[in-house]
Structure 1
Amino acid sequence: MTAGRARTYWLVGASSGIGAALVDRLVAGGHRVVISARRQAVLDERAARDPERILALAADVTDLDSLARAWDGMLDRWGMPDSVILNAGDYEPMGLADFDPTLFERLMRVNFLGAVNGIQVVKDGFIRRGAGEIVLTASVAGYRGLPYSSPYGASKAAMINLAESLRPEFAREGVAIRVINPGFVRTALTDKNDFPMPGRIEPEDAARRIAAGLAGRGFEILAPRGFGYVMKVLRLLPYRMYFAITRRMLREPGQ
């Protein structure tokens, strides 16, 4: 991470995958991190390794009151953070043969409405202070619809749209809202995929790239950039060309 003043982060979704790797990276960069996830025991285990720099407060993004209690606990002990990273996420691939509205509801509750709950909890404090940063972990899967990822992709597209919509008003109040758009990162979630994942990187590599992006001020942080740029190009294609590409991604029925 580039040199600069030490900051205080609240990282929600910190117990595994990209979140856990990012905690390590931020702490190594000299920052303090309030870590939140649903399992307090897992958080306590991580905090015990760096008790001066990590504060563990359990929270469930699908429960607004749970997030509010964690926020109040942080304010009581460490004060208001400089940056809030809403990283909690869920993923499950789904093909048309397994179409399931309950899966859409589950992923939207965690990925999208979880971010909405997080914004609700922190926005008034940041606006009163006239400073702060809210960072949403979305995905390049939110750029355009991809086969077998409609519940996940829809939730991530909603997050990107949310950040884009709110950014001008937040900026007027002195508050930044930004998005992290990872590509394929090796985690327990992407291990569910049974297809080739181009450009897949390790969580530590993603965390390094994200931490470098957090040190800047850009709206979007890509991790990695290469695959992100490929997805940006696909986003520009007319539908006829785009659907010709995505049809090639389909598996034979029964596979």
Structure 2
Amino acid sequence: MTLYRADPKHGVAWITGGSSGIGRSLAKDLAAQGYVVAVTALDDDPIDTLVVETAQMPGHVTAYPCDVTDEKRMARTVAAIEKDLGPIVLAVFNAGSYIATAGEDLTVRGFRQSFDVNYFGIINGLVPVIERMRVRARGHIVLVGSVTAYFGWPTTAAYGGTKAAINILAESLKYDFDKMNVRIQVINPGFVDTPLTEKNLLPMPGLMPVNRASRRMARGIKSGGFEVTFPWRLCWGLKLLRILPRPFCRWVISTATRWKARPLNFDRKPPSE
């Protein structure tokens, strides 16, 4: 049996983190393909303008605001989308946040917030939507990771940790999802010019415009391969680097990011005893 691949004729595409950046651009791409697209972002994020921008496309966008860290509300959002628009056949879990994590300035809050949004924000939507896909015996799940999942980079102890966890999540679930006729993919983009990467303190080789990146995502979703990664020169170079000895890998990353020359910052006061 050929594993299911989503089609706009079959139902709805749902995107989390769709108010800006790559999620917003992907919503337009999917609407252009004819999907009815349910977009979820925080209540005060500007989804209404996206609805207007896609009004004349073959498909269209409908806003379903929700905080992905709210487990119960995410379940209600899934139920509302299916009640209003029809079955969710494609779920793209894209919501994410980046908190720079330097070794001399660690906070528990930064790690917890990163995992709450980037990892558990997926789980909170995946659990209710997969139950419906399981009953229908078909579905298509897309998890947005990052090339920072391949190995440790400076400042990405929290962010990269969540993206590595997302890759393991996808690999682990694939065994059973295949039996359920639910396709799962993980998308590991390189550096994309979005509000998220504006916070990045590192050099960003191969930085891609957001519309180009979303088109690559849309093509990857359509083709259905397990991992989608781009730009290929950067990503395959990193894959090669990953299999080399770790000390050499760390030397390359430290040199490329000029991190060795960066002074430690001890401005933050230690907690009082």
Task: Bin the TM-score by the shorter chain.
Answer: over 0.9
Find the counterpart in structure 2 of residue 122 from structure 1: 129
Task: Tell me whether 159-168 or 244-253 shows the greater mean CA deviation.
Answer: 244-253
> What is the Cα deviation at residue 70 of structure 1?
1.2
| Aligned pair partner of 1:19 in 19, 23, 35 | 23
Take 2:185 and 2:245, find their aligned partners in 1: how far apart are those partners?
27
- TM-score w.r.t. the length of structure 2 is 0.87
CA-based RMSD: 1.7
Residues 19 and 45 in structure 2, CA contact (< 8 A), matched pair in contact too: no
Q: Which runs of 5+ in 1 are unaligned?
A: none
Residues 13 and 87 in structure 1, CA contact (< 8 A), matched pair in contact too: yes
Take 1:229 and 1:150, find their aligned partners in 2: how far apart are those partners?
22
> What is the Cα deviation at residue 27 of structure 1?
1.4
Task: Tell me whether 61-70 or 242-251 shows the greater mean CA deviation.
Answer: 242-251
Residues 64 and 77 in structure 2, CA contact (< 8 A), matched pair in contact too: yes
Take 2:132 and 2:185, find their aligned partners in 1: how far apart are those partners?
17
| Aligned pair partner of 1:253 in 239, 243, 263 | 263
Secondary structure, in 3 states, of the residue corresponding to 1:176?
Answer: strand
> What is the Cα deviation at residue 254 of structure 1?
4.3
Residues 49-60 of structure 1 aligned to structure 2 (within 5 Å): 49-51=53-55, 53-60=60-67
- Point out the structure with max Rg over C-alpha: 2
Residues 178-217 of structure 1 aligned to structure 2 (within 5 Å): 178-217=185-224
Residues 40-119 of structure 1 aligned to structure 2 (within 5 Å): 42-51=46-55, 53-119=60-126
- Number of aligned residue pairs: 252
> What is the Cα deviation at residue 118 of structure 1?
1.5
Question: Cα distance 1:25–1:45, how it changes in 2: closer, same or farther (>3 A)?
Answer: same
Take 2:82 and 2:44, find their aligned partners in 1: how far apart are those partners?
18
Residues 40 and 56 in structure 1, CA contact (< 8 A), matched pair in contact too: no
Take 1:116 and 1:203, find their aligned partners in 2: how far apart are those partners?
25
Task: Tell me whether 204-213 or 113-122 shows the greater mean CA deviation.
Answer: 113-122
Off by >6 Å, runs of 4+ in structure 1? none
Task: Tell me whether 116-125 or 39-48 shows the greater mean CA deviation.
Answer: 39-48
Secondary structure, in 3 states, of the residue corresponding to 1:85?
Answer: strand
Q: Which runs of 5+ in 2 are unaligned?
A: 1-5, 266-273
Question: Cα distance 1:78–1:235, how it changes in 2: closer, same or farther (>3 A)?
Answer: same
Find the counterpart in structure 2 of residue 224 from structure 1: 231
> What is the Cα deviation at residue 73 of structure 1?
1.0
Take 2:172 and 2:91, find their aligned partners in 1: how far apart are those partners?
18
Secondary structure, in 3 states, of the residue corresponding to 2:185?
Answer: strand
Matched to 2:49, the amino acid is E
Take 1:118 and 1:41, find their aligned partners in 2: how far apart are those partners?
19
| Aligned pair partner of 2:177 in 156, 170, 177 | 170
> What is the Cα deviation at residue 24 of structure 1?
1.3
Question: Cα distance 1:114–1:69, how it changes in 2: closer, same or farther (>3 A)?
Answer: same
Matched to 2:40, the amino acid is S
Take 2:185 and 2:85, find their aligned partners in 1: how far apart are those partners?
23
Find the counterpart in structure 2 of residue 6 from structure 1: 8
Q: CA-to-partner distance for each residue in 1:55-97, whole Å, 9 max, x for gaps?
A: 1111111011111121111111111121000000000222112
| Aligned pair partner of 1:235 in 242, 245, 248 | 242
> What is the Cα deviation at residue 212 of structure 1?
0.6
Secondary structure, in 3 states, of the residue corresponding to 2:54?
Answer: coil
Take 2:130 and 2:44, find their aligned partners in 1: how far apart are those partners?
25
Residues 163 and 178 in structure 1, CA contact (< 8 A), matched pair in contact too: yes
Task: Tell me whether 108-117 or 229-238 shows the greater mean CA deviation.
Answer: 229-238
Take 1:5 and 1:191, find their aligned partners in 2: how far apart are those partners?
34
Take 1:47 and 1:184, find their aligned partners in 2: how far apart are those partners?
27
> What is the Cα deviation at residue 180 of structure 1?
0.9
Secondary structure, in 3 states, of the residue corresponding to 1:79?
Answer: coil
- TM-score w.r.t. the length of structure 1 is 0.93
Matched to 2:50, the amino acid is R
Structure with the largest fraction of helix: 1
Question: Cα distance 1:183–1:81, how it changes in 2: closer, same or farther (>3 A)?
Answer: same
